[in-house]
Chain A
Amino acid sequence: MTVEPEIVLEARNITKRFPGVVANENVSLKLYRGEVLALLGENGAGKTTLMNILYGLYHQDSGEVLIRGEPVRISSPSESIKRGIGMVHQHFMLVPVFTVAENIILGAETSKGPFLDLKVARQRIRELSRQYHLDVDPDAYVKDLSVGQQQRVEIIKALYRNADILILDEPTAVLTPQETEELFAIIRSLTARGASVIFISHKLKEALAIADRIVVLRRGRVVGETTPREATERSLAEMMVGRSVMLEVEKGEAHPGAPVLTLENVTVLDDRGQQVVNGVSLEVHAGEILGIAGVQGNGQTELVEAITGLRPVHSGRVRINGRDVTNASPRRISEIGCVHVPEDRQEDGLVLTYSVADNLVLNIYYAPPFAHGVVRDDRAILNHANRLIERYDVRTPSPLTLVSALSGGNKQKVIIARELSREGRLLIAAQPTRGIDVGSIEFIHQQIIAERDRGAAVLLVSAELDEIMALSDRIAVMYHGRIVATMPAARATREELGLLMAGAQPSNVVQEPATDGHAPVSVQRRGV
């Protein structure tokens, strides 16, 4: 009855310093056989550093790592794999043009003489797939798989190497609510067979749903350990941030004015020439937030690119403030008063090798006071940076720090600061809080609502239903390049939106019991 379960992985008093920061300080952690341990923490709290130490990418300055009670020194990922640790990174490490089987054996190829022998591998992959209900075809090409399926390929990759300790780094960041449920089922079947899982996340709901135990990191230290039974979202959030946070966004009534953004039958092609936005018409009014809900890859990205001039509008009209800006240059659209928080902040929103100050003028560097003629005014740029860093609470050692050194949440605050400080008439915010910490999310949400209250029209695109529902005044659901439904946010329910996002016709929406512990909500039937 009181038999202690086996400890498969233990970190004792791990300390890791980087120049200027202590990433982990005296961190101790135990992982028991067959459990799911959720590791919660804000960006920069030290979760990734700790996992990279366990996975052999870094070595700790002091402290020790024990695997099954035996002290080990893990000096490389290949060694940690040998010891049964598998890691699924947030960004998948797959070769798109290879098949599933080829990807899985990569680095552990089975061969017959000089030739690859995929037969054995395929057989094992099928077995693993069956055993854990992973439902992956070894002969499918990775490029043809959905994100959720690719993630399962990564999991099989670890299992194929006999991993029984799995580290999942923000695994749900790229998944739909339905795919998340499937992942949770897979995790449960893994632990039922004796595997142990470390689940890294910043999503409180998910940690509560899947974990057996929850460890919270803040500023490199373990600040608490709890179980889903004892904890609530609020208590976890407070532990993570170190102060009380608002989980609900406070916002007053919207006072919509004249339309600012008008789309008429807009169609857009993707890079391969496929029509991915099929005749979208919508209006966003001054002083309102229109949220576009939808599973990623249903044309939202291309729609935003077309509005902002980054991708040609194939047919239809785009008007901002009554002016026709169809296929105008990004600079012109920006100058008309459209500010844009892009979806991919690392790739499109920032130049990582530039300082915070340079990034804060990335699209206004050419205008006074930041330039006189073609000559930059470094003093004005620096003053501007200091002002925005203070006003938007960007945590950076200095305006001259490279933006790559900031945490995800602070990187996003740099973009938010740059765009919102321009006081545009139209704000387009795409995935504004993806992958960032609770504290920053709270702040960014307040800022977006402040923009609305100032009278800006806000077009919000997000894969997070919670975010869409919390911020929007009206919600449009996008599926296969079309707006399949538009409704006032007050009337929308999670279940209805979820079904619409999955392609159900609005008329076919039926009542479903709530699945996530909320009180059941009745879903309105809507005619087409």
Chain B
Amino acid sequence: MERAELPSPLQASRLAPVRSLLRAMIVPIMSVIVALAIGAVIISLSGANPLVAYSALFEGGLGSGRAIGRTLEKATPLIFGGLAVSLAFKCGLFNIGAQGQLLLGAIFAAFIGFSLQGLPAVVHIPLALLVGAIMGALWAAIAGTLKALTGAHEVITTIMLNFVAFNLTDWLSDGPWKDRSPGNIVARTPAVAPEARLPDIAGVPLGMILAVLAAIAVWWLIWRTTIGFELRTVGQNASAARYAGISVRRMTVLAMVASGFLAGLGGAVETLGVVGRFQPGFNVGLGFQAITIALLARTNPIAVIPASLLIGVMQAGASRMQFNSGVASEIIDVIQAIILFFVAADSIIRWILRLRAEEGERVTLSSGWGS
């Protein structure tokens, strides 16, 4: 799935980190630019002025303090989701189920949030976050265990588990955990206790701070610990990992659990930081955007932050764009899809840029011919 890893201390030659960082960044950056260009063509075809539309888009995402606040709000769960998908990728797993894990995390955080009353915030918030994260982890563990024990492909099982999660959370929020307050007719849980809501710390939402800390923690885990080494080894060459005494099954389950933990935490942060309750439909699409972000970041945990911010800007600015230029906000989904297309099929971008194959790839190719 991934070709060029971003540099790590023991990965590339002394000079290479800078070069390979640039090389690794050029395709994602060009993908975004080309996607925006194609989006501009579509916008002009629909009769609007792309410059007006895009300036409104970025004004809506970055133009004011409130706009930036909205962007951070949108970007926060995306960072968690992007980290979840990236971490699984490092172990060679394609976690399509971030969406389901996120839903579980979101609804259980809401449950802890509304069902317990009178706890101090320092207890209530960590508890609700932790329960949400653990539920996401358990949900992902199902797919991980199935893969480890029976070889069932995680792409299939996580897609199925997404459907189960959709229906389970629909039922919970319209059944046992439904908001029974007078006048409410929609499916949603009660609002969480005020003590469970995430505060701002020095003007920055706590959720965003947690997201950045999570990115650093994932980077540390992957590149600085033996567990990360085992994950990466399984992801790069499962057979060599087995020969090296690493249990591929154990790492498969572990990677899914860690991935689900991050996705669940993302759902919990969304509930406690933004929505304030669980309501079906609010988090739809986050888990799938997470895949775009992970690919755009080339599964580098730190790069997940700017990638999420970029998508966050677009989402925060979409309604301003629609208001100012009359371009339907759905164009943002189109642009995101084009970005995903290009980062996934990066040879198209390489061809556009006439980029030569990377050194490493070339060497591998020539050794493939023997001698």
CB distance from B151 to the nearest CB of A (A): 13
- Contact across chains for B243 and A348 when beta carbons are under 8 A apart: yes
- Contact across chains for B229 and A353 when beta carbons are under 8 A apart: no
Asked if B217 is at the interface of the complex by the 8 Å CB criterion, the answer is: no
Interface residues of B in 239-278 (CB under 8 A from A): 239-247
The 8 closest A-B pairs by CB, nearest first: A90-B370, A48-B371, A331-B245, A363-B244, A374-B225, A362-B244, A348-B243, A330-B245
A-B contact pairs, 14 of them (CB 8 A): A48-B371, A57-B369, A200-B371, A334-B245, A348-B239, A351-B241, A354-B236, A363-B244, A376-B224, A376-B225, A376-B229, A398-B14, A400-B14, A408-B367
Besides A90-B370, A353-B360, A363-B245, 19 new A-B residue pairs in contact (Cβ under 8 A), listed by A number: A18-B362, A18-B363, A52-B366, A90-B371, A310-B243, A329-B245, A350-B240, A352-B237, A353-B237, A358-B11, A358-B229, A362-B233, A376-B224, A397-B13, A398-B13, A400-B14, A402-B360, A404-B364, A404-B367
> Across the two chains, which residue of chain B brings its CB closest to A309?
B245
Asked if A349 is at the interface of the complex by the 8 Å CB criterion, the answer is: yes
CB distance from A352 to the nearest CB of B (A): 7
Task: List, in ascending order, chain A residues with CB within 8 A of B360's CB.
Answer: 353, 402, 404-405
Task: List, in ascending order, chain A residues with CB within 8 A of B241's CB.
Answer: 351
**A38, B137: Cα distance in complex, Å:** 60
- Contact across chains for B369 and A378 when beta carbons are under 8 A apart: no
Q: Which of B227, B359, B360, B366 has the most CB of A within 10 A?
A: B366
**A15, B11: Cα distance in complex, Å:** 30
Chain A interface residue count, Cβ-Cβ cutoff 8 angstroms: 54
Asked if B200 is at the interface of the complex by the 8 Å CB criterion, the answer is: no
Q: Which of B224, B237, B246, B368 has the most CB of A within 10 A?
A: B237
CB distance from B282 to the nearest CB of A (A): 37
Asked if B118 is at the interface of the complex by the 8 Å CB criterion, the answer is: no
Asked if A89 is at the interface of the complex by the 8 Å CB criterion, the answer is: yes
**A350, B369: Cα distance in complex, Å:** 18
> Across the two chains, which residue of chain B brings its CB closest to A402?
B360
CB distance from A512 to the nearest CB of B (A): 33
Given A378-B10, A382-B10, A404-B364 in contact, is the A349-B240 Cβ separation under 8 Å? yes
- Contact across chains for A48 and B366 when beta carbons are under 8 A apart: yes
Task: List, in ascending order, chain A residues with CB within 8 A of B371's CB.
Answer: 43, 47-48, 51, 90, 169-170, 200, 408
Interface residues of A in 345-382 (CB under 8 A from B): 347-355, 357-358, 362-363, 365-366, 371, 374-376, 378, 381-382
**A48, B371: Cα distance in complex, Å:** 6
Chain B interface residue count, Cβ-Cβ cutoff 8 angstroms: 36
Asked if B12 is at the interface of the complex by the 8 Å CB criterion, the answer is: yes
Task: List, in ascending order, chain A residues with CB within 8 A of B233's CB.
Answer: 351, 354, 362
The 8 A CB mask of A380-400 against B (1 = contact, 0 = none) is 011000000000000001101
> Across the two chains, which residue of chain A brings its CB closest to B371?
A48
CB distance from B23 to the nearest CB of A (A): 13
Task: List, in ascending order, chain B residues with CB within 8 A of A329's CB.
Answer: 245, 247
CB distance from B360 to the nearest CB of A (A): 6
> Across the two chains, which residue of chain B brings its CB closest to A399?
B10
CB distance from A430 to the nearest CB of B (A): 11
Given A19-B359, A375-B225, A402-B12 in contact, is the A89-B244 Cβ separation under 8 Å? no
Task: List, in ascending order, chain A residues with CB within 8 A of B16's CB.
Answer: 400
The 8 A CB mask of A1-45 against B (1 = contact, 0 = none) is 000000000000000001100000000000000000000000100
- Contact across chains for B236 and A400 when beta carbons are under 8 A apart: no
Given A348-B239, A350-B240 in contact, is the A400-B11 Cβ separation under 8 Å? yes
- Contact across chains for B367 and A357 when beta carbons are under 8 A apart: no
Task: List, in ascending order, chain A residues with CB within 8 A of B369's CB.
Answer: 48, 51-52, 57, 89-90, 169
**A329, B247: Cα distance in complex, Å:** 9
The 8 A CB mask of A184-199 against B (1 = contact, 0 = none) is 0000000000000000
**A349, B239: Cα distance in complex, Å:** 9
Asked if B9 is at the interface of the complex by the 8 Å CB criterion, the answer is: yes
- Contact across chains for A330 and B243 when beta carbons are under 8 A apart: yes
**A405, B361: Cα distance in complex, Å:** 9
**A366, B247: Cα distance in complex, Å:** 13
Asked if B330 is at the interface of the complex by the 8 Å CB criterion, the answer is: no
- Contact across chains for A378 and B9 when beta carbons are under 8 A apart: yes
